[in-house]
Amino acid sequence: MARASARRRVTRLTVGGEPTARPDTLAGEEPLEIRLDGRPLAVTMRTPGADMDLALGFLLGEGIVGTSADVASMRYCVGTDGAGPTGALDAEGRPTYNVLDVALAPGVPPPDIDPTRNFFTSSSCGLCGKASIDAVRLRSRFRIDDDPLRLGPEIVTGLPDAMRRAQRLFATTGGLHAAALADAAGRILAVREDVGRHNAVDKVIGWALRDGQVPLRGRVLMVSGRASFELVQKALMAGLPMLAAVSAPSTLAVDLALEAGMTLAGFVRGQSMNVYAGDHRLLPPVPVPAPAG
């Protein structure tokens, strides 16, 4: 099985000092090809681990599935198929576990796979495989503007530290993004790490889908990087009413959050944050005046 981290030799340089050689632990990055009923759908650069959750989250974010029951099976492709090598063997003939085939359940319509689409998605971009601007905007199965989630600002500002404490790979490599799901009390339900921030989100949403928790009503998605349009859309497709990010949002991310009724917070650091949409979920309730007389 491909590893999530590996050791490499580095030369340590310090101004005015002598160079030293030492081993360093790096985050793993390898391609994962996702096939749908045997047909290539996408290739993403990811950190190996939780690949099936990654595939489930990706399929949900693309609007292909809505529940775990929409998937009949998932398996790694190892060896060769009728058309030749699957690409799942390394140069020495060992399985790489970098090709995953997903079989949809009977009755689930397959997507139209455009042969002109660029299937490659880098670790920094979750929309790089889209063939047109129209394909970027997807309609969610879930409504979130009526989600009753309410929580105090102190709950949100505590999430980055709680997420960091659960980042085991980051502690040894320093080179991974993270995504966490939390409830209204600030309890971390799941954390996933990856070299790609969109992959980390797919992994944690895929975990929730497999666990029967989608739509994720009353939950918060916390991410270690910026709040891009793609992450807001993934949260919306999973029915999440709130996305909080350590860094900044983009204009399109804010526009989509406002349109969908999502709470979007950025620069969640220390004891403060900027709330760009849906601040009613974080503000104290407005007292109702007592009736006269």
Give the residue numbers annotated as catalytic, written as ranges: 125
State how far the alpha carbon of 152 is from the alpha carbons of 5, 97, 267, in Å. 37, 43, 16
| 242-245 β-sheet, strand order | 188-194, 177-182, 220-223, 242-245, 263-269, 272-277
* CB neighbours of residue 7 within 10 Å: 10
User: Which tokens hold the place of 180?
Assistant: 């966490």
User: Which tokens hold the place of 77?
Assistant: 């492709």
Residue with tokens 């949409």: 277
**Whole-angstrom distance, CA of residue 223 vs CA of residue 40:** 29
**Whole-angstrom distance, CA of residue 209 vs CA of residue 14:** 47
Cis bond before residue 215 (omega within 30° of 0): yes
Closest CA to 256 of 282, 230, 280: 230
User: Do 2 and 97 contact (CB within 8 A), yes or no?
Assistant: yes
User: Which tokens hold the place of 27?
Assistant: 């985050």
User: Do 88 and 76 contact (CB within 8 A), yes or no?
Assistant: yes
Give 25's strand partners.
Answer: 7
Q: Rounded to a whole number, what is the distance in angstroms from the first to the last CA of the chain?
A: 74
Residue 161's Cα: distance from chain center in Å? Answer: 19
User: Do 218 and 188 contact (CB within 8 A), yes or no?
Assistant: no
**Whole-angstrom distance, CA of residue 243 vs CA of residue 237:** 12
